[in-house]
Structure 1
Amino acid sequence: MKTNKKETMHIHIVQHETFEAPGAYLEWAEQRNYSVSFSKVYEGQALPSTVEHIDLLLVMGGPQSPDTALAECPHFDSQAEQVLILKCIHAGKAVIGVCLGAQLIGAALGAVFEHSPEKEIGVFPIKLTEQGLRDEKIHHFGSSLAVGHWHSDMPGLTESSKILATSAGCPRQIVAYTDLVYGFQCHMELTPKVVELLIAAEEDFPRRSTHQFVQKPEVIRQHDFSEMNNKLFRFLDHLTNAYLKSSH
């Protein structure tokens, strides 16, 4: 008797800091009764030694960058995470990188991350490119969608990668590296709880308060994240279905 793989989907989450929580990604997995495991590296938890039982690897954000050395941040091993990402890609797994995670995907594939033209903190619209509007997994986002942001860098591009969405402050908001590997510079996983964690950890609000793409905490708190979260859920369902089809 065959096991229904959809019922046994396993998501592994690499989390770099308490305040860079998976938010709506975790809610999606729990709603669908998928199993979830973590490498909370800020607590000293190890990365997986094998990718055999991983169906979807989710690499979260953080204040680090792909070139952050172990001497600067002992709990963040950029090279080890890039090796894990490559293992998953080569094994045909689905991979999503968020913010730092997106930059790590690019770096693992040989692309150099760059500083974004503008820092973005808050909720601002992204616009889908022509390639984004043709992408079956995200075209339901529509031509424009208000999403969360909390970054100053952006992922590098490979020769085969496709920019699916941009914003006024950053030209690389969503990047498809393959049909199963996506980098999100934006934070569609934000929920009110995650926002409070990020606000509490952000030390630069007073200095950045006059920046055109940095909103004040009280403005960020006013946003309703439900539409953004629901559209993320639909993307994740599309990605999961594509993975299941490819793995048969």
Structure 2
Amino acid sequence: MNIHFVIHESFEAPGAFETWAHKHGYDVTYSRSYLHDTLPQTANNIDLLIVMGGPQSPATTQDECSHFDAAAERTLISQCITAGKAVVGVCLGSQLIGEALGADYAHSPEPEIGKFPINLTENGRLNHKFSGFGSTLEVGHWHNDMPGLTPEATVIAYSAGCPRQIVEYSSLVYGFQCHMELTPEVVELLIAASENELKAMRDRRFVQQPAALRANHYDDMNQKLFGFLDKLIEEYQISEKRALRH
């Protein structure tokens, strides 16, 4: 199984996603755009594409951020979706999936930074990939925007501050506005990169400050993420076998 990460900034690290991939012994490759790595030109050597978050938006130009090429990332996402690969986007990555499918990203009603509950919709509760989530689950957040919705998209989960926390674009393509991959180590990186941002939003109701961020426990949501990813890979493998038969 080949897992490819697109990572936009060193402080938006893959965290629990990487832990899960290494635990299973999967082959892992990276495009670290902040180091000016190139993106894969095709989807041929990718089974699961994971596009991470970042302070950019899908509208950020290369004049504004030289190492971020939104158009190239949308192309890679489209190639993977067309080829029947599994695709997961986190935060900015989720917004880029929506844009690759023709759905414009939007600003979230509320910024969210910290650990707050998400609520599963009826569709989410009925989706076997999320059977371990329960009806409500506390997860990590660090965002101002949210992914767009295609006509075929299904909202799996929402929060008090954002109506699009997890979106199913197809049975193999998912956008996570929330950050279930956070670990204490990743949170420290984010705090160090966001000092001014956190101070400026100290009065926002869904923004925690560094002491609270450090006090959060992230293991449970990491385990729930692992369960989702295992089921996603199972579905991908079934899809691959079906494709080979035809």
TM-score category, normalised to shorter length: over 0.9
2 CA distance for matches of 1:246 and 1:147? 29
Deviation per CA, 1:175-208: give whole Å up to 9, x if none: 0000000000000000000000000000211121
Deviation per CA, 1:1-35: give whole Å up to 9, x if none: xxxxxxxx000000000000000000000000000
2 CA distance for matches of 1:36 and 1:210? 40
When the two chains are superposed, the root-mean-square deviation of aligned CA atoms in Å is 0.5
* Match 1:232 to one of 217, 225, 234: 225
* Counterpart check, 1:188 vs 2:180: yes
The match for 2:2 is 10
Deviation per CA, 1:217-243: give whole Å up to 9, x if none: 100111111100000000000000000
Tell me the amino acid that sits aligned with residue 78 of structure 1: A
Residue 91 of structure 1: CA displacement? 0.2
* Counterpart check, 1:73 vs 2:60: no
The match for 1:6 is none
Kindly tell me the number of residue pairs found equivalent between the two proteins: 240
SS at match of 1:247: helix
* Match 1:93 to one of 82, 85, 92: 85
Give the TM-score taking structure 1 as reference length: 0.96
Deviation per CA, 1:74-124: give whole Å up to 9, x if none: 100000000000000000000000000000000000001000000000000
SS at match of 2:99: helix
1 CA distance for matches of 2:152 and 2:43? 24
The match for 2:28 is 36
2 CA distance for matches of 1:11 and 1:242? 15
Give the TM-score taking structure 2 as reference length: 0.97
The match for 1:3 is none
Residue 139 of structure 1: CA displacement? 2.4
SS at match of 1:69: coil
Mark the runs of 5 or more structure 2 residues left unpaired by the alignment: 242-246
Identity, in percent, stands at 59
The match for 1:5 is none
The match for 1:112 is 104
Residue 50 of structure 1: CA displacement? 1.6
The match for 2:244 is none
The match for 2:169 is 177
2 CA distance for matches of 1:143 and 1:206? 33
* Match 1:50 to one of 42, 56, 68: 42
2 CA distance for matches of 1:61 and 1:247? 28
Residue 53 of structure 1: CA displacement? 1.1
